[in-house]
Amino acid sequence: MFTKSAAFYDALYHWKDYAAESRRVHELIQQYQQAGDVTLLDVACGTGQHLAHLREQYQVEGLDLDPQLLQIARERLPGVPLHTGDMRDFDLGKQFAAITCLFSAIGYVKTVEAMRQTVANFARHLQPGGVLIVEPWFKPGDMQPDTVHALFIDQPELKISRINITRIVGRLSWFEFHYLVGTPENVEHFTERHELGLFTHEEYLAAFRDAELEVQHDEEGLMGRGVYIGVKPLN
């Protein structure tokens, strides 16, 4: 997905307050967790920005599908176990006291069936009493289709213009990002297509419950998109 933009990922999302978001994640874990240790797995960890803060309280690991993003995370987090895997069916052979899947990465599974499979896989990797925190993508009807968006980066040695039109086809949102990137070496244009599924509130709740998790919904969440919080029963 981030085949060409991985090197610029942190610059593109410099506006995110990872420290504040990580503090909120910690608060939620402390509020709901009943497990006995401090192990945490961040699924779709990207370049490891959340993990860089969460490792202050937890014994952390990360997982992502994109090896280029993981390479950046490895440079940021020496010694932290980072795994390449698909959130739908990874198998690490162990369980964690907390699992997070943030910044709407769950949308990349695209279909309701795959989302349910993913939540069930998260639940299998949770210890009894463990907490799952999922930050959702937008729901059907929340996004305005056929709107144009732009993001600009203006650093001394890095200039980026990213422009796209939001398209909605059925239950799928997709974006053809056009990048114009300037560095002291050259100016490059490339495109990336991202597709994310639009799932309803009821579908998220059903996925958590079918995975035998006690589910709560925090409407505000980390950045206004809400979060779903699942707790695996002790028994």
Task: Tell me: pLDDT of 3 over 90.
Answer: no
Nearest-angstrom CA–CA distance, 202 and 207: 9
H-helix or E-strand containing 166?
strand 158-169
* Whether residue 191 is found in the same domain as residue 211: no
- Does some domain include residue 188? yes
Residues 165 and 208 placed together within one structural domain of the fold: no
Quick check: is 212 in a domain? yes
Residue 1 has pLDDT above 90, yes or no: no
- Over residues 32-44, the mean pLDDT reads 94
From the list 18, 95, 14, the residue with the least C-alpha distance to 56 is 18
**Residue 209 sits in the same domain as residue 174:** no
Residues 57 and 75 in one domain: yes
Cβ neighbours around 117 below 10 Å, total: 17
User: Is there a single domain that holds both residue 185 and residue 107?
Assistant: no
Residue 51 lies in a domain: yes
pLDDT band at 87 (very low <50, low <70, confident <90, very high): very high
- pTM comes to 0.97
Cβ 38 vs Cβ 26: under 8 Å = no
Quick one: pLDDT at residue 16? 97
Q: Per residue in 174-219, pLDDT tens?
A: 999 999 999 999 999 999 999 999 999 999 999 999 999 999 999 9
CATH number at 188 reads 2.20.130.10
Q: How confident is the model at residue 36 (pLDDT cuts 50, 70, 90)?
A: confident
Alpha helical stretches, state H, 42-146: 49-54, 67-76, 112-124
Q: Is the pLDDT of residue 235 over 90?
A: no
Q: Which residue has the tokens 């990872």?
A: 18
- Give me the count of residues in the chain: 235
Quick: pLDDT tens for 159-168: 999 999 999 9
Same-domain pairing of 100 and 171 = no
> What is the reported pLDDT for 2?
82
Query: What is the domain count for the chain?
Result: 2
Distance CA 207, CA 213 (A): 9
Looking up tokens 């769950």 gives: 106
> What sign does the CA torsion over 110, 17, 63, 178 have?
positive
What is the SS3 assignment for 214?
Answer: strand
170: left (phi over 0), alpha (psi -120 to 50) or beta: left
Exposed e or buried b for every residue in 39-50, given b needs 16+ CB within 10 A? bbbbbbbbbbbb
Statement: residue 92 has pLDDT above 90: yes
Q: Kindly report, residue by residue over 116-139, the tens digit of the pLDDT.
A: 999 999 999 999 999 999 999 999
Please compute the mean of the pLDDT values over residues 66-92 and round it to a whole number. 98
Answer yes or no: is pLDDT of 5 > 90: yes
Q: Where does the pLDDT of residue 13 fall: very low under 50, low under 70, confident under 90, or very high at 90 and above?
A: very high
Q: Is residue 54 part of a domain?
A: yes
Question: Does residue 53 sit within a domain?
Answer: yes
- Are residues 61 and 20 located together in one domain of the fold? yes
Query: Is there a domain that residue 1 lies in?
Result: no
CATH number of the domain enclosing 22:
3.40.50.150
- Give the mean model confidence (pLDDT) for residues 40-56: 98
Domain for residue 221, yes or no?
Answer: yes
Instruction: Let me know whether 115 and 218 are in one domain.
Output: yes
Q: Are residues 14 and 125 in the same domain?
A: yes
d(CA 212, CA 122): 11
**Residue 170 forms part of a structural domain:** yes
Same domain, 217 and 131: yes
Structural domain for 13, as ranges: 6-138+200-231
Does the pLDDT at position 144 exceed 90? yes
Q: Categorize the per-residue pLDDT at 15 as very low, low, confident or very high, splitting at 50, 70 and 90.
A: very high
Whether the predicted pLDDT of 44 surpasses 90: yes
* Rounded CA separation 205/209 (Å): 6
Residues 193 and 124 in one domain: no
Q: Are 45 and 126 part of one and the same domain? A: yes
